[in-house]
Structure 1
Amino acid sequence: MTKHKIYTMSFASVYPHYVTKADKKGRTKTEVDEIIRWLTGYSQEELETQLEKQTDFETFFAEAPQLNPSRALIKGVVCGVRVEDIEESTMQEIRYLDKLIDELAKGKAMEKILRK
């Protein structure tokens, strides 16, 4: 089976789209970064290093210091697919992030987005 194209895309090439999506709805880059750090365990400095290195999505999630155990609480539909039903782990991590960014753009409170 061939890998999905998103796996080889650089995380840095998609990151500005996350920020733009949030910004259009009055949210901030800082909130986007907080979500990414919460999900992956990267520090802000480590996140910036991954962006500078143009790390691909597969490596970005594979090298994540500490994937948040609460991410299993993320439920819902992204691109017509329920995130909790995705069997391939890397794709599920990518869709978790997409879902969190969607929630941010929809005005959900950070405490709820971060499953506190």
Structure 2
Amino acid sequence: MIYHFCRRSDYSSDAELYINETLSTQGFIHCSPRDHVHVPATLRARGQPDLVVLEIDETRLPKPPVWEDGDPPDPDGRLFPHVYGPIPTAAVVAVHDLPPRPDGSFAPL
């Protein structure tokens, strides 16, 4: 499984595909392994109260994710899964709430 955080209003299970703005600006959708999704969420969306995490079964994607450096690169050399295309909602097996902690950071899933 791979994970992607987004605003609740940006994801609809009724749509056939999920498309994030980074697909058009960077050519891929940023994802994370389960144990690390809270790190980019805290970096990019600190304190945002309306986030969810999409749990994605990568075997249901049209193409497998590509594991590459993050943006910025992880100081420990950790790689992140990038999805080069829209994500079929059939690949999203669960949607988890991601509430911020009092300091605005996010806890691990």
Name the TM tier (shorter chain): under 0.3
Richer in helix (by share): 1
TM-score by length of 1: 0.26
For CA contacts below 8 A with separation 6 or more, give which structure has more relative contact order: 2
Richer in strand (by share): 2
